[in-house]
Amino acid sequence: MPTTQTNKAASPARLDVRLNAQAKEKIEQAAVACHQTVTDFVVTTLLRASEDALARHHTIHLTNRDRDLFLAGLDRHVRPNRALRKAATKFKRQSR
């Protein structure tokens, strides 16, 4: 894994973490194994974990039954009610 250079001028934010000695030692060993500084290793690993967590959060998992109900709802030809028309008008106004 390539080493990432941390630019102190571009990264003014800090993240302070408390952890036990065994966890710190393991993180330091992993950073060495990846040929990275501890800071670069932690930032890279946390960003990857954050992206994975957000992807899982933004993904909807449906059962087959739920999928079928959803698709059936999309296939129904129902005229929009007053509340939906009002919401669409509000959305269009805010999107400009």
- Report pTM: 0.56
Residue carrying structure tokens 């669409």: 88
Residue 96: pLDDT band with limits 50, 70, 90: confident
32-60 pLDDT, tens digit per residue, is 999 999 999 999 999 999 999 999 999 98
Number of domains in the chain: 1
> Which residues form the domain of 66?
21-94
pLDDT in tens, 60-83: 889 999 999 999 999 998 889 999
- In this prediction, residue 7 carries a pLDDT of 56
Cα dist. 7→12, 34, 39, 41 in Å?
Answer: 9, 19, 11, 14
Question: Is 58 among the domain residues?
Answer: yes
Q: What is the mean pLDDT of the chain?
A: 90
